[in-house]
Amino acid sequence: MCGIIGILGKKNNVVPNVLEGLRLLEYRGYDSAGIAVLDDQGRISRLRSSGKLTALEGRLRETPLSGRAAIGHTRWATHGAATEANAHPHMTERAAMVHNGIIENYQELKAGLEAQGHVFESQTDSEVAVRLVSQGLSEGKSPEEATREALLRLEGAFALVFLFAGEPDLLIGARRGSPLAIGYGPTGACLGSDALAVGPLSDRISYLDDDDWVVVRGGEAVIRNRAGDRVGRPVKRLDPSLRFNLGKSGYQHYMQKEIFEQPQVTGDTLKTLLEPSGGRLTLPEDLPFRVSDAERLNVVACGTSFYAAMVGKYWIEALARLPVDVDVASEFRYRDPVLAPKGVSVFISQSGETADTLAALRYCRERGQKTLGIVNVKDSSIDRESDGSLLTMAGPEFGVASTKSFTAQLTLLAALAINIASERGLLATGEEARLIRLLLEVPAMMAEILSRSEEIALVSRDILAGSRDALFLGRGPGYPLALEGALKLKEITYIHAEGYAAGEIKHGPIALVDKDVPVVVLAPTDALFPKIASNLEEVRAREGRIVFVGDQKGLEKVGKGLAAGLVIPPVDPFVVPLIYAIPVQLLAYHTAVFKGTDADQPRNLAKSVTVE
Ligand code: G6P
C-alpha cells in the first residue's frame, strides 16, 4: 500500500535517492507514483505518472528534475482512480505532500477550503491536508504552526510528509495509524514508510508513535507529540541484513526466490525457539506471561496470515487441548467478541502493520487481554505494541503474495503448539522430541519438493493456465491449506479459485464441477485419507480434472483417471501443512508465469495493507 519517502541532501541532488527509495517500496503494491522536488530557486516541481515506476522514470528522462530536497510516493488508490491527477505528491505553490492512509473527514474539510477559494485538482481524500497547511501558510503561519494546526483537524489514519517552497532544509512528517520511520545516517535524517525505504541512507532508525510529528532540519529530527511537547523515541541500529540480498539472486521473480528460500527460513525460524540441546522448544524469556496458562486463545490476522492462524488452531487444539478462536481482523472487533478473562490474544502479521490487525490488537489490549504478536518485521507497530512477540525469520518479503512468511508463521505456530502441550503436561515421554525431530526434517523435505519445481510447472501449464475456475480441496489442516492454495492462484493469475473443506463440496461447489474445472485435491495419507478419497470420487464422477497432491501410496489407492498426480514424499501428519504449502505455491507461481501475469506485483493488490 502507499509508500512514502522524503530526503534532504546537504549538497547533492536527491532525486536518484528518492527513486531508489520508491523502488524499495514497490513491493508494497501501487498503481501510480510521483515525486516533488525543490529547485535551486526554492520552487516546487513535480512529476507523476499512473502505472509503474518505469513510467515515472520515463517522464523524468523527458523532463529531468533535480534538487536537494524531495519527496516521493507510490500510491495504492483508495479515493479516486489510479490516474496522474490523483497520484501524489499533491501540491500548491507553497507546499507539496505525500500521504498514506485515509482522511475520513475530508469532505467536510474540502467544503470549508473550497469556500476559502481553494480549487481541488484531484478526487483524493489526501489533497485536503496540503491545502489546509497551505491555507495556514498564506495566513502568515510558519510551516511548523501551519502543519500542527492542520494535523489537529484531520480525522482518520495517516502518515504524511510535507515539503515547503523556499525551505530547502525542511521536511515535516506526521503519523496517526499509518507507519512512518525516521532514518539517521551520515547525510542527516530522512523519512520513509519503512526500514527498507530509509535503509540506503541510514544506519539507525526510529519510528513515530501515533500523533507524533517530526521536523527534519539541519540534519536533525525533532519529534513532538500532539500537545506540541518534544518527545524522544527509541533509536535503533538498522539491521544490516536489510541491505543485503534484496535482489532476485538470479531468480525470475521475487516470489520464486522467496518460495525457494523456505527451507532456510523454516530452519532459521525454528532455531529461535529451540534450546541448544535440541530437545525442547521454549518461548522467549522476556514474554511477560505464560501462553500455556491461558484458558482460551484468540488468533486474529488477515489474508495468508489468517490461513496460518487456521492451521495453528488445528495444531494447538489437537496437541495442547487449548480452545482457539480464529478471526479475520476486519470482522473481529466489530462483532463484539466474548474475550476470556485470562485470555491471550495472538496477532499474526508478516508486515506487522496491517491496519485491521493492529486495530484488533489495540482493541484486545484495552480489554485487558495479554497480547502476543507473530510478526516478520521487528519493531513494526504490532511488534512494538504487543506485550511480547515471536519473530519469523523470513527476511524481507517482496512478492505481494506471501509465501515464505506463511511457512515461517506455520513453523512458529507448530512450535507454540508443542510448547503449550509440553507445559500442560500433555505430551507422553519422547513425544516432544519426536515432534521436534519432525520439524527439523522439514527443510530437507521442502528442498526435495523444490527440486521438482519443473514437474509442477507442467501441471500449471497443461491444466491450470488455461482454466477459468479452479477448486482446491483439503481436510483437517489441509483445509486452510486449500484456502491458501486458492488465494495464491487467484491473487497472481486472476483465475477464479475457491478453497473448500472437502466434506463441504456436496453442499454447493460440486455444482461447479465439469470436465473443464481443475480440482486440486490435497490428500496426504493421514487418518482422513479415506474420507478425502471419497470426495475425490465424487469429483471424478462429474468428470472434474483432478490434480492429486499426495504420496505414492495414496496415488496408488485412488487409481487412474486423474488429470495429474503430484507425488510428495510420505510425511507425518503433523508437518503436512508445512510440506504441502510448497506444491500449492509452486502451482500458482508457474501458472502466473505461463499466463504472463505479474507474479510479484499483481494488479489491485498491496503487500502492506495500512488502511481499513
Ligand atoms: C495483503 C497481502 C497478503 C497478506 C495480507 C496480510 O493482503 O497481499 O499477502 O497475507 O495482506 O498481511 P500481513 O502483513 O498482516 O501478514
For range 218-242, the mean pLDDT:
89
d(CA 316, CA 322): 6
Ligand 1 binding pocket, CB closer than 6 Å:
302-305, 349-351, 354, 357, 400-402, 605, 607, 609
> Under CATH, which number does the domain 248-448 receive?
3.40.50.10490
| CATH for 3-243, options being 3.60.20.10, 3.40.50.300, 3.30.70.2660, 3.40.50.460 | 3.60.20.10
What integer is the mean pLDDT of 351-359? 94
- Relative to the CA of 357, which ligand 1 atom is closest? 15
Same fold: 3-243 with 452-600: no
| 177/85: higher pLDDT | 85
Local confidence band at 27 (pLDDT 50, 70, 90 cut-offs): confident
Nearest-CA residue for ligand 1 atom 13 is 349
Ligand 1 centre from 286 Cα, in Å? 27
pLDDT level of residue 270 (50, 70, 90 thresholds): very high
The answer to whether 525 and 550 have CB atoms below 8 angstroms apart is yes
Distances in Å between the alpha carbon of 479 and those of 320, 451, 465, 472, 502? 20, 25, 23, 9, 7
Mean pLDDT confidence for 495-522: 92
Residue 148 has pLDDT above 70, yes or no: yes
Q: Whose CA is nearest to atom 2 of ligand 1?
A: 607
Q: What is the mean pLDDT of residues 486-494?
A: 97
258, 310, 346, 350, best to mutate for ligand 1 pocket (most atoms within 8 Å of CB): 350
Show me where the domains of the chain are located.
3-243, 248-448, 452-600
pLDDT for the residue numbered 29: 83
The alpha carbon torsion through 382, 148, 238, 200 (nearest 10 deg) reads: 120
Please return the burial class of 109, using the count of CB atoms within 10 Å of its CB with bins 0-12, 13-18 and 19+: buried
Q: Give me ligand 1 centre to Cα 483, in Å.
A: 14
Give the pLDDT confidence score for residue 278 in this predicted structure: 78
Query: CA-to-CA distance for 534 and 540, rounded, in angstroms?
Result: 10
Mutate to test the pocket of ligand 1, among 1, 2, 259, 304 (most ligand atoms within 8 A of CB): 304
pLDDT, position 243 = 57
Q: What mean pLDDT is predicted for residues 61-82?
A: 94
pLDDT given for residue 217 in this prediction: 96
What confidence tier does 609 reach under pLDDT thresholds 50, 70, 90? confident
Q: How far does residue 449's CA lie from ligand 1's centre (Å)?
A: 25
Confidence of residue 98 (pLDDT cuts 50, 70, 90): very high
DSSP, residue by residue, 405-453: HHHHHHHHHHHHHHHHHHHTT-SPTTHHHHHHHHHHHHHHHHHHHHTTH
d(CA 516, CA 545): 7
pLDDT of residue 578: 98
Q: Given 3.40.50.300, 1.20.970.10, 3.40.50.2300, 3.40.50.10490, which CATH number is that of 452-600?
A: 3.40.50.10490
Least trusted range by pLDDT, from 51-65, 160-174, 256-270, 276-290:
276-290
Locus of grid cell 523515541: 233
Q: How far apart are CA 595 and CA 461, in angstroms?
A: 9
Distance, CA 242 to ligand 1 centroid (Å)? 20
Instruction: Give residue 244's pLDDT.
Output: 46
Q: Among 27, 178, 607, which is best to mutate for testing ligand 1, by the most ligand atoms less than 8 A from CB?
A: 607
The pLDDT of residue 605 is 85
Taking the centre of ligand 1 as the mean of its atom positions, its distance from the CA of residue 295, in whole angstroms, is 28
Ligand 1 closest atom vs CA 354: 15
What average pLDDT does range 431-448 have in this prediction? 94
Which residues partner with 163 through β-bridges? Answer: 96, 171
Residue with cell 469556500: 115
- pLDDT over 70, % of the chain: 99
Measured CA distances, 418 to 291, 334, 432 (Å): 12, 32, 7
Confidence band of 513 (pLDDT split at 50, 70, 90):
confident
* pLDDT, tens only, 576-596: 999 999 999 999 999 999 999
- How many Å apart are CA 3 and CA 292, to the nearest integer? 39
Interval between CA 422 and ligand 1 midpoint (Å): 31
Kindly state the average pLDDT of the residues 545-555.
96
> Catalytic residues, which ones?
2, 607
Q: Which of 378, 389, 337 is nearest to 360 (CA)?
A: 337
Residue 394 has which C-alpha cell? 523470513
> By the 8 A CB rule, do 1 and 76 touch?
yes
For residue 480, the tally of other CB atoms under 10 A from its CB is 24
Pick left, alpha or beta for residue 494 (phi over 0 → left; psi -120 to 50 → alpha; otherwise beta): left
3-20 per-position pLDDT tens digit: 999 999 988 899 999 999
Q: Which pLDDT tens digit goes with each residue over 295-313?
A: 999 999 999 999 999 999 9
For residue 89, whether the previous peptide bond is cis, meaning omega lies within 30 degrees of 0, is: yes
- Locate the ligand 1 atom nearest the alpha carbon of residue 491 and give its number: 8
The tally of CA atoms less than 13 A away on the side-chain side of residue 312 is: 31
- pLDDT at position 242, please? 61
Which residue has the CA at smallest separation from atom 1 of ligand 1? 607
